[in-house]
Structure 1
Amino acid sequence: MNIIPAIDIIDGQNVRLTQGDYDKKTSMKRTPEEAIAFYSSFEQVSRIHIVDLMGALKQNAQESTVIQELKTRTALPLQIGGGLRNTETLEKYDAIGIDYFILGTRAITELEWLGSVVAKYPGRIFVGVDARENDIYINGWTENSGITIDDYIRQIEDLDIAGIIYTDINKDGMNQGPNFDNTKRISELTRHPVIASGGVRNKTDLDQLESMGITQAIVGKASHNDDFWRDIR
């Protein structure tokens, strides 16, 4: 199992939201700089997931300076999401050495644009499928896109993406475990790697995902808990 710990940023601070609610923000004990150094010490960590939360809400990148600094502090690949709505932003992140881009809202609603950036950055784009039940949500999880997971996956099957990051919004930050059933179902719908996200609590959850054929998982709130890492070791 490849563990991908998450660093979510607002105003340069390391925070977590509950179910994507910006009014339910909790500050984490480590700064983004401290967190990236800590996560980089574990051999089970394959890359680090960084989200510009205000970028997602305001529809343009807000934390590029912080992210550039974080890139200098680890040898691990970084995957960046939040506010990546145009090719210029991707070019800017590419120029500072960011390895992977996570595209959400515009990648969901504008497939022609998604196809164009995938052609420019083949194998480096993850599509973020953030959902309640089978409905994909956009704009920082605040708006129902009107597009279902099943319909969307069919339309992106032939694109050369790095994978699909599936987040069950209702599980995110709730310490209840991921949506195992839907994660498995989605993985059976596509040839693309599916990365589990939202609700992962402990090694038991990771083992269950692995038994279903899921080999990558983003760990958010639990990754800030030292007990989680003691179990991993």
Structure 2
Amino acid sequence: MIEIWPAIDIIDSQNVRLTEGDYDTKAAMGRTPLEAVAFYSGQPRVGRIHTVDLIGAKEKKPAEMDLFRDIIKATELPVEIGGGIRSEETIREYLDMGAGYLIIGTKGLTEPDWLIEMSRKYPGKLMLGLDARGDKVALNGWLETAETTVFEMLERLDGAEIGGVIYTDIARDGRMEGPNVEMTGKLAKTSKWPVTASGGVRNGSDLAALETEGVFAAIVGKAANTDEFWESIR
């Protein structure tokens, strides 16, 4: 059964959500990051907690180390961290504090050889953050779009020992209009690694559609803050 990874996106130690990755659309969620962790940890089908340091992604270096340390201590579920992870030093620091998985985005997309090397040092612990506008790769906190397609990117990572691929369709992110089932399904059928869908997931029906396409897990953001979502999967 497809796993659910609730998302906690963080700016200035607050639990927020953006729409299409636009920092100007920042909206505070009802729970603090630690309250959200406690709530999600008790929900069905939650396989891990997905967290993103949005300022870290923008500034290309971690900005919330202390908060992530507290989040890891607050749950028995694996905690996945993304945003601003661009060096082996940062990878080691997060893993040493107990992070379950780390998302490598821009650094891995622009320097695939580096990601392959790191994935062999830390097998299964690094996830590729494959953010895109349609099929074109997005970089640097979604502020830039490359000419490389998501399929070309997977080819360049041949031989990597990553734990999986997280595909985010930026156009769907935060809009509660449903995930890009077709594109995520194509990636799931193409990828050597498990593919996780991110962006637009609303309810149990969206999860079922993704599962039919062979998608391993779904990251749920805004919808995870509603009672309706959890009722839809019971």
TM-score normalised according to structure 2 size: 0.98
Query: Given residue 118 of structure 2, which amino acid in structure 1 is its aligned partner?
Result: V
Q: Deviations over 1:12-61 (max 9, x none)?
A: 00000000000001000000000000000023100010000000000000
Unaligned runs of 5+ in 1: none
Contact preservation (8 Å) 1:19, 1:170: yes
1:24-63 correspondence to structure 2 within 5 Å: 24-63=25-64
Separation of aligned partners in 2, 1:85 and 1:148: 21
Q: Deviations over 1:173-220 (max 9, x none)?
A: 111100011001111111210001000000110011111111311001
Contact preservation (8 Å) 2:117, 2:160: no
Contact preservation (8 Å) 2:138, 2:146: yes
Contact preservation (8 Å) 1:6, 1:49: yes
1:137-156 correspondence to structure 2 within 5 Å: 137-156=138-157
Offset at 1:146?
Answer: 2.6
Contact preservation (8 Å) 2:41, 2:75: yes
Helix, strand or coil for the counterpart of 1:25? Answer: strand
1:179-194 correspondence to structure 2 within 5 Å: 179-194=180-195
Helix, strand or coil for the counterpart of 2:102? Answer: strand
Unaligned runs of 5+ in 2: none
Matching of residue 119 in structure 1 with residue 110 in structure 2: no
Contact preservation (8 Å) 1:157, 1:192: no
1:191-206 correspondence to structure 2 within 5 Å: 191-206=192-207
Q: 1:23 matched to which residue of 2?
A: 24
Contact preservation (8 Å) 2:116, 2:159: no
Helix, strand or coil for the counterpart of 2:228? Answer: helix
Q: 2:3 matched to which residue of 1?
A: 2
RMSD, matched Cα? 0.9
Offset at 1:97?
Answer: 0.6
Q: Deviations over 1:132-162 (max 9, x none)?
A: 1211000000011332111111111321110
Contact preservation (8 Å) 1:49, 1:78: yes
Contact preservation (8 Å) 1:109, 1:145: no
Offset at 1:123?
Answer: 0.7
Separation of aligned partners in 1, 2:139 and 2:147: 10
Separation of aligned partners in 2, 1:190 and 1:34: 35
Contact preservation (8 Å) 1:167, 1:198: yes
Query: Given residue 224 of structure 2, which amino acid in structure 1 is its aligned partner?
Result: S
Matching of residue 86 in structure 1 with residue 87 in structure 2: yes
Taking only the aligned residue pairs, the percentage that are identical comes to: 47
Separation of aligned partners in 2, 1:157 and 1:192: 10
